[in-house]
Structure 1
């Protein structure tokens, strides 16, 4: 009587690899979209937080621009977006630009812009780019 062999045959191994590949091809787009949604939510929160800092600065200094003795540093951005601020005495515009070569470089919401008046925009956005979709409302 022959002893039984334990282990996987080549065909069984190929079937396991095919099943794992199919599951990964289904799961990756969903995972990627969740990462993009989290990055959009993070940058929207950072823009609102920066706007709040600038409003506090205006309450202290009487204007949005930095003055001698009253300086409000702003964050530089996230892994996916760089934050830029244009400030004058009477208004400000905060913009979050996508960093090239990252997952968000081709995101359909494009860049984010928040003004002192609270108006939110996404210049360069394509497809379904409603404020609720892009800004997470």
Structure 2
């Protein structure tokens, strides 16, 4: 004879919720770190394009551009970083700074990414 009711008991539901909670506690931080690393691509692209524009300008005018708006603007394409340039004679430093109130503002290890006229990228652990 079959029982009159079928389904899950309260204890089984609690155990299932606990297992899902434990898996979430492990998986979510890794997922958020993956998202931060992926969003850094926005800065990589912006800095690399600005550096290419700097080299093009130097080849034509024998001088680097000191106005960031002439290098593509002060905001990265996806809007996670603000861009700036510092020019000193025959050298330049391009900087991408994560916008604090956006999703990338929590990337404490790589808030500021730089690229200079020699192609040196800093911090090196953030450039992959």
Output the TM-score relative to the length of structure 1. 0.72
8 A contact 1:65–1:89 mirrored in 2 = no
1:17 is the counterpart of 2:9 = no
Q: Aligned pair in 2 of structure 1 residues 42, 32: CA closer, same or farther (>3 Å)?
A: same
Q: In the aligned structure 2, how far is the partner of 1:37 from the partner of 1:116?
A: 24
Q: Which sections of structure 1, spanning at least 5 residues, go unmatched?
A: 123-130
1:95 is the counterpart of 2:95 = yes
- The CA RMSD over aligned residues, in Å, is 2.7
Between structures 1 and 2, the one with greater helix share: 2
Aligned to 2:49: 49
Q: In the aligned structure 2, how far is the partner of 1:103 from the partner of 1:66?
A: 29
Count of aligned positions:
124
Q: Aligned pair in 2 of structure 1 residues 101, 48: CA closer, same or farther (>3 Å)?
A: same
| 1:45 aligned counterpart, secondary structure | helix
How far the C-alpha of 1:51 sits from its partner, in A, is 0.3
Q: In the aligned structure 1, how far is the partner of 2:99 from the partner of 2:66?
A: 26
Q: In the aligned structure 1, how far is the partner of 2:99 from the partner of 2:87?
A: 22
Output the TM-score relative to the length of structure 2. 0.76
8 A contact 1:65–1:88 mirrored in 2 = no
Moved more, 6-15 or 17-26: 6-15
Q: Which sections of structure 2, spanning at least 5 residues, go unmatched?
A: none
Q: In the aligned structure 1, how far is the partner of 2:19 from the partner of 2:35?
A: 24
